Amino acid sequence: MSDATGKYSITLPRGIAEAARQRSGLSAYVAAAVARQIERDDLNELIAVAEADHGPIGEEEIQARRDQLQRAREQQADAQSAA
């Protein structure tokens, strides 16, 4: 992350904090987790707006998108292994 940083005080369960510290450092791990949650929150807001405008997304459409994503992942993996 290239943004300016600030120092904050948070409270975490000891086991979670120690596990994060062992992986990539507590600050980096927490920053990545918070960034990921913000992205999810933003996506959920976008979905809510889209559903308000166009109606709810059906299970068939969701499954079609999951299948499309899986195919794209497989193609990417094939391309990487061929390189």
User: What pLDDT does residue 2 have?
Assistant: 64
| Domain count for the chain | 1
Q: What is the pTM of this model?
A: 0.66
DSSP 6-73: --------HHHHHHHHHHT-HHHHHHHHHHHHHHHHHHHHHHHHHHHHH-PPPHHHHHHHHHHHHHHH
- Residue 4 domain-assigned (yes or no): no
10-residue averages of pLDDT along the chain (83 residues): 84 95 92 96 94 93 94 93 86
> Domain containing 56: what range?
14-82
User: What pLDDT does residue 64 have?
Assistant: 94
